[in-house]
Amino acid sequence: MGFPGFFNHLLNFVLPAFWMATSLLLIHWLLRKRGAPPLLWGRHWLCLFASGVAVLVAGLVVFQRDGRMATYVALAVVMGLVQAWLARRKAGLSAASANPRQ
């Protein structure tokens, strides 16, 4: 397998994490409260993408093949949890900065 074939396989391996991270970021941007400051989108997307790639690699190691449905279920669950954690963390930080009593 040459470099173009390897690059094609690598791209297709990480593509589910790419699309899930992009979709979650767009949905978060559309549904966030207008008064809340938005998260830094680059760092937010990178956290989502990295967690997705980690799940895909773990699924490849555990099942010894790519594309198992359990891996994709774990991808959706983990990326949803990371998205919720990032959104809640940012909401907590913005509420703490608005309340300087501490």
Answering whether pTM is above 0.85, one says no
What is the spatial distance between Cα 55 and Cα 3, in angstroms, rounded to a whole number? 25
Q: How far apart are CA 30 and CA 51, in angstroms?
A: 22
pLDDT tens string for the chain (102 positions)?
Answer: 898 899 999 999 999 999 999 999 999 888 877 666 666 788 899 999 999 999 999 999 999 988 889 999 999 999 999 999 988 876 666 555 555 555
The packing angle between helices 69-98 and 3-31, to 10°, is: 40
